[in-house]
Structure 1
Amino acid sequence: MSNSYRIALAGNPNTGKSTLFNALTGLRQHTGNWAGKTVSLAEGTVQHKGKTFRMVDLPGTYSLFSNSTDEEVARNYIVFEKPDVTLVVLDATSLERNFNLALQVLEMTRNVIVCINLIDEAEKQGIKINDRLLTKRLGIPVVKISARNKTGFPLLLDTIERLITGTIECHPIKTIYPDDIEEQIKKIEPQVSKLVGDRLSSRWVSLRLLDGDETLLNEIKKRMLLKGD
């Protein structure tokens, strides 16, 4: 059994995501273009409790709706490459603005850890964050850190390890949309489920199709149908 696991880092620009990546991986990193795109992804490794975490620093994006190449690359990596864990890095001083991306990721994949960075800056501003309450409400682990000061790193790495080994499980909160949208989802999700099976979230794909996301449909055809899956 392999002891190497892929960990994707997602987040808005300026949340300290790349600072976290650099602090964790140090000199054990490299960059390269991914999936024929011009966007370069940084990759690096972290050793923890006999396991190798292969960290992948995804492009910083405000959403995952494929409105840009960066968004498309980040979305496709999470959905199709299926990292073992996706870390969503949030700015502790701007949680409300950052949570949009986190909720999008929760619709796409189950194994998610919300990593609240810049906790030292938040404390200076008198902002208090109840990580236990957030964990309970989101249904996934929430860890507070300061990437710049390397505060909270042992807990973060332990949480990744516990999620990978199944010691803890994620039960992500389900975003409920207005009744008319939920009705449309119910209508098309059975057909979508036949197409994607358990490889993708049929609910998430249904939402994207309702939104007219043709790039996703094309990507599904290219990756699944043409392979005969």
Structure 2
Amino acid sequence: MGLTAQSIKKEAMEDIYKISKSDNQHVIALAGNPNTGKSTVFNYLTGLKQHTGNWPGKTVVTARGEYQYNNEDYIMVDLPGSYSLFTSSKDEEVARDFTCSGNYDAIVVVADATCLERNLNLVFQIMELSPKVILCINLIDEARNKNISLKKDDLEKELGIPIVLTAARSGEGMEDLKRVIEDIAVNNIEYKPNIIRYDNEIENKLEEIIPVLKEMNISNLRWNGLRLIDSEPCIFSSQSDKHLTKNQADELINKFNLNENKYIIREKISEINYNYANNLKQKYVIEDYKKNNRDKKIDDIITSKRFGIPIMLGLLGLIFWITIQGANIPSQIISNILFKIQDYLSGLFIELRVPEFIRGIFIDGMYRTLAWVVSVMLPPMAIFFPLFTLLEDLGYLPRVAFNLDHLFKKACAHGKQSLSMCMG
């Protein structure tokens, strides 16, 4: 499985780099967390009907499409949904490698207007890599329905990057997004992202490391320097040209004695990013606190260490019981109907004096098997999937993934895999 995933990632990166070499088209990367409407933005711009969905990791490798705007040709590369550039899967590795490569004329990061602070961590990381960042805050229509509004101009000024508010399903704001993409990719309008500054310990180490990286002709100096401080060398193993390799990273880590406290520093950087994102939310997001406080109280219960897993087990157990018990009666009805038809067909074959082995193949073999599968499987599926869809619409499934994430990580997996386990 590992070799297959690695080969898929390699082929994906080779395809992307081939596209990036075209002189007549502008390459636009599309990044973002899962569930932000990224594929819907992609579909609107390119006209391709790529399947959209709300399962994390749905874009397994990449999707590509083209569009024209003001007589200019653009290639849109839809990267796999990723919560962070600190990869935990091969599809996230594709997103990281292409983002680090810089083989694009602009990169659009799609965020969810209803929970902006959760999406900003990825925005901060990409801002460290490229000044060609556009923040597309999508689902603005859903935000309005929840009485959430944004001080867009103030947030834009604070981050130092262009921001576009969109509702991709209805096309709201998409012309503005095309115009901003044109400004950066074609008109070469430059922005200076306001990159987060960390505490003195981290910044002092960066001051030591960055001059050495300059001498090595390494690009994205700050990002590579931070990863030397807070990450394992394996994160550099598949970097492109002008990025550190794993061997170079090992040498620099030993040279600057960076082996200690990596986990603590990573946690510190994550905490600073989170606090800054939360601060931006407090300053620039206006919301209905009464409703949000109610949602927070519910979250505090269903994602708590004490009640989260028992509630999850009870709810999933209830769905399992409803599925099994509720399917018994319709399953029996369907079984009776289908097997009556089998008796009729069997009698018809006997009356027509069809050879026994043919009757055995078609009636006792093919038809009976089909009848069993339909009568046994159809009713549970007809009950289970609507119930599971209801949990997704209520926002409970992401909380299941959150509750189980720490357990799945102990098995070198991810919390989002708990959803496929529940379905199994």
- Asked whether the 8 Å contact 1:7–1:54 carries over to 2, the reply is yes
Q: 1:28 to 1:48 in 2, by over 3 A?
A: farther
Moved over 6 A (4+): none
In 1, Cα distance between equivalents of 2:200 and 2:92: 28
Residue equivalent to 2:135: 114
Amino acid at match of 1:13: P
How far does the alpha carbon of each residue in 1:17-63 deviate from its partner, in whole angstroms, 9 at most, with x for none? 0111012111388xxxxxxxxx5210001100011110000000110
Match of 1:210 among 229, 233, 246: 229
In 1, Cα distance between equivalents of 2:103 and 2:154: 28
1:132-151, aligned counterparts within 5 Å? 132-151=153-172
Shift of 1:67: 2.6
Shift of 1:167: 5.7
1:43-192, aligned counterparts within 5 Å? 43-166=64-187, 168-192=189-213
TM-score (norm 2): 0.48
In 2, Cα distance between equivalents of 1:213 and 1:147: 38
> Gapped runs of 5+ residues in structure 2?
1-21, 51-59, 246-424
- Asked whether the 8 Å contact 1:3–1:50 carries over to 2, the reply is no
Shift of 1:223: 3.5
Which shows bigger deviation, 164-173 or 44-53? 164-173
> Gapped runs of 5+ residues in structure 1?
30-38
In 2, Cα distance between equivalents of 1:22 and 1:74: 19
Q: 1:100 to 1:172 in 2, by over 3 A?
A: same
Residue equivalent to 2:216: 195
**RMSD of Structure 2 on Structure 1 (CA):** 2.2
Which protein has the bigger strand share? 1
SS at match of 1:166: coil
SS at match of 1:7: strand
Shift of 1:182: 0.8
In 1, Cα distance between equivalents of 2:41 and 2:120: 18
In 1, Cα distance between equivalents of 2:42 and 2:241: 29
Which shows bigger deviation, 83-92 or 184-193? 184-193
In 1, Cα distance between equivalents of 2:73 and 2:214: 34
SS at match of 2:164: strand
In 2, Cα distance between equivalents of 1:173 and 1:213: 26
Which protein has the bigger helix share? 2
SS at match of 2:74: strand
SS at match of 1:46: strand
1:26 aligns to 2:60 (yes or no): no
Amino acid at match of 1:168: I
In 1, Cα distance between equivalents of 2:236 and 2:35: 30
Find the structure with the greater CA-based Rg. Answer: 2
Aligned length: 216
